[in-house]
Amino acid sequence: MSEEIKTTEQTVSKPAAKKRIFSGVQPSGLLTIGNYIGAIRNWKTLSSEYDCIYCVVDEHAITVRQVPADLRRRTYETLAIYIACGLSPEDNVLFVQSHVHQHAELSWILGCYTMFGELSRMTQFKDKSAKNADNINAGLFTYPVLMAADILLYQADLVPVGLDQKQHLELARVIAERFNGVYGDTFVVPDGYFPKVGMKINSLADPTKKMSKSDTNPNGYVAILDDPDTIIRKFRRAVTDSDTEVRYGEGKDGINNLMTIYSAFTGRTYDEIEAEFEGKGYGDFKNAVGETVADGLRPVREEFDRLMKDKAYLEGVMKDGAAKASNVAVRTLSKVQRKLGFVQVK
Ligand code: TRP
């Protein structure tokens, strides 16, 4: 973020040493190995180069009905997963959205700079309204505005998200540019930071579709926290084709997907994997993938279990993170309010 330094005659902009990254995950379900491979496990390497802020977006979660006890538990769990995947609270700001009230406040303001038509075009809104026909609430509609507020509040330069969030991110840019256009430079216009191509993980039950934590068929996804036996069983049942050769190719969506996962966990190339399983059948390959993934996630799960037994520690991280996040949020909101013409009394 560029910091303004006031001198007597002019305002100069000092470029900060590090660019800022912001991302959020909803505490609405368990994260899958798709989230792990494509996103979270890579985030730990970013903290040396960027100023990283990761949020558990509980306010977004209530756009669909939540059981309060589940929401509370998942908020702790999502934070614990972040930490267990290697995001240390010392090197990253980790916090819970509802602990920093400026998100909701900025969201109201930005809503007045977002058009009804723009929100109506969001494909996720259309999908979610179709799925929740009995609860098409205003929050579901303005969801992308709150997301824009999350990002713009921290003047984030880069936002790591899945491709499904690209449209929301583009809207955040439009809102930032619109506001800047009216009031002068206020927000950094954020860029997306998308997972590498080829790292898209598909469902084990239907390998033509993205692996999703909200899949109604639990055999379709592998959760980061699934126990080893479950992981191995799910891979054994993975849908493949009627061919027998472990080879990356057209029409072999199931095998391609398993090869991508195996490659992500072992660092081996497709050629190396093909050589490794030459003359062996799909059964051997599926077992190998299952065991490799179960082994790879073991330390994450163990650390998660340890953290979940220490609520006091997790709450300390939340408090500390919220305090750090607030420092930035307060400044941005106050700048916005000043520009809008809100009276500020100190
Ligand atoms: N909408 C995002 C998702 O479902 C979560 C999210 C909320 C987010 N606010 C954000 C992601 C800000 C990145 C930045 O995946």
DSSP code for 37: I
Three-point CA angle 21, 160, 273, nearest 5°: 130
What band does 5 get if pLDDT is binned at 50, 70 and 90? very low
Cα separation, 222 vs 149, whole angstroms = 31
* Closest C-alpha to ligand 1, atom 15: 25
pLDDT, residue 315, reads 98
With a cut of 60, say whether residue 7 has pLDDT above it: no
Quickly state the pLDDT bin for 197 (edges 50, 70, 90): low
Q: Which of 210, 234, 252, 286 is labelled catalytic?
A: 210
User: Residues lining ligand 1, CB < 6 A?
Assistant: 22-24, 26, 57, 60, 147, 150-151, 159, 161, 165, 168
Q: Which residue type does 260 have?
A: T
- CA–CA separation, 53 vs 156, rounded Å? 9
Question: Could you tell me the residue ranges of all domains in the chain?
Answer: 20-194+311-340, 218-306
Q: pLDDT tens digits for 116-169? A: 999 999 999 999 999 889 999 999 999 999 999 999 999 999 999 888 899 999
Q: What is the DSSP letter of 184?
A: S
Specify whether the CB–CB gap between 24 and 147 falls below 8 A: yes
Per-residue confidence band for 16, with pLDDT thresholds at 50, 70 and 90: low
pLDDT digits (tens, 9 = 90+) for 260-311: 999 999 999 999 999 999 999 999 999 999 999 999 999 999 999 999 999 9
Q: Would you state the pLDDT for residue 289?
A: 98
Residue 221: closest CA among 234, 240, 237: 234
Q: What is residue 199's predicted lDDT score, i.e. its pLDDT?
A: 72
**CATH number for the 218-306 domain, one of 1.10.150.120, 1.10.3300.10, 1.10.240.10, 1.20.120.1200?**
1.10.240.10
User: Largest Cα–Cα distance of the chain, in whole Å?
Assistant: 77
Q: What one-character DSSP code corresponds to residue 291?
A: H
Atom of ligand 1 nearest to the CA of 164: 15
Amino acid at 262: Y
CA-CA distances (angstroms) from residue 186 to 85, 144, 153, 262? Answer: 34, 19, 10, 45
CA 66/CA 278 separation, integer angstroms: 48
Ligand 1 center–CA 25 separation, angstroms: 6
The CATH H-level (homologous superfamily) assignment of domain 20-194+311-340 is HUPs (3.40.50.620)
- Separation between Cα atoms, residue 9 and residue 7, nearest integer Å: 6
Contact between 60 and 24 under an 8 Å Cβ cutoff? The reply is yes
Residue 20, CA distances (Å) to 47, 51, 93, 189 in order? 10, 5, 11, 12
| Pocket perturbation via mutation, ligand 1, pick of 74, 167, 168 by most ligand atoms within 8 A of CB | 168
> What's the pLDDT at 3?
46
State yes or no: is 213 an active-site residue: yes
CA–chain centroid gap for 205, Å, is: 23
